[in-house]
């Protein structure tokens, strides 16, 4: 299944946006799709990054899943916004990664991956080409960071094997999310890669491709964390430690809770 893309154009100068539907079935979210179907989504992400990256310096791929995260259309989909400027968060990541590379001679997130692999306590999933962890700076209860093991700057640079493995580890992560409270787990997620556009040829070796997952649920399918009061005005507070969150996610099965026993056995074998 190839993801369908509905193009919605903004002003041609500063910004352009697209909506990408994941699957023709209206209720088929990513964790319920097959690995080859998710691989098609990965390829579409890489393709749209390449397409819009010819003109725009920043291509932001993101998914808002669930009404709790403001998603008004129930059909599983993501969005792509391309802009003629680096947004604020991209600028902060650029400064941090550039400063670390200048001081230590290697990408910040490559070294961070090595440290987390050594400690193991914040790891959720690992595979041949990817790892998922709860970063030590996480403020959402089950926030995760998805990282390639190899130094990769942008999505189009991923090899076929890395794309297959990405589809597999995404399915496992999102299945764990759904299994946590046995619900279609809401979240906002997005990819951050090196800038593109007219500056694509510059040296961006300090950048490491990564994806952020920000899920709001805290204690159940209906109880979410709110960022209010002290957290908005002073400092975010952890409701459980990153290590506790990672441990809970690690312990969850990788077969979706909604599958019947026969389907569970088939999925486990696969």
Q: Residues 230, 72, 50, CA angle at the centre, nearest 5°?
A: 95
* 77 is a catalytic site residue: yes
Residues whose CB falls within 8 Å of the CB of residue 118, separated by 6 or more in sequence, listed in order: none
- 114 vs 98, 117, 147, CA distance in Å? 18, 5, 11
- Per-residue tokens: 93: 């990541």
**3-state SS of the chain: helix, strand, coil percent to 5?**
40, 20, 40
Nearest to 180 by CA among 68, 257, 261, 76: 257
Q: Select which of 23, 75, 77, 212 is catalytic.
A: 77
Phi then psi dihedrals of residue 215, to 5 deg = -95, 140
**Which residues have a catalytic role annotated?**
77
């Amino acid at each position: 299944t190839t993801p369908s893309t509905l193009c919605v154009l903004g002003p041609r100068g500063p910004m352009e946006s697209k909506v990408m539907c994941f699957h023709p079935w209206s209720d088929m979210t990513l964790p319920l799709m097959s690995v080859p179907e998710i691989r098609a989504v990965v390829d579409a992400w890489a393709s749209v990054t390449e397409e819009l990256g010819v003109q725009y310096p920043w291509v932001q791929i993101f998914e808002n899943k669930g009404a709790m995260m403001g998603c008004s259309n129930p059909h599983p989909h993501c969005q792509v916004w391309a802009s003629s400027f680096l947004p604020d968060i991209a600028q902060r990541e650029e400064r941090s990664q550039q400063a670390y590379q200048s001081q230590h001679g290697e990408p910040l997130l490559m070294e961070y991956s090595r440290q987390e692999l050594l400690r193991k306590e914040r790891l959720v999933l690992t595979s041949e080409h990817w790892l998922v962890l709860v970063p030590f700076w996480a403020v959402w209860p089950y926030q995760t960071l998805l990282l390639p093991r190899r130094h990769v700057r942008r999505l189009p640079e991923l090899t076929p094997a890395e794309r297959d493995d990405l589809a597999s580890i995404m399915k496992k992560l999102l299945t764990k999310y759904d299994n946590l409270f046995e619900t279609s787990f809401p979240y906002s997620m997005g990819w951050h890669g090196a800038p593109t556009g007219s500056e694509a040829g510059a040296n961006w070796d300090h950048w490491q491709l990564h994806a952020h997952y920000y899920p709001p649920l805290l204690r159940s399918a209906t109880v979410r964390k709110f960022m209010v009061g002290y957290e908005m005005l002073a400092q975010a507070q952890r409701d459980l430690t990153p290590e506790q969150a990672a441990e809970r996610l690690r312990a969850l099965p990788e077969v979706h809770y909604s599958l019947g026993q026969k389907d569970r056995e088939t999925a486990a074998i696969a």
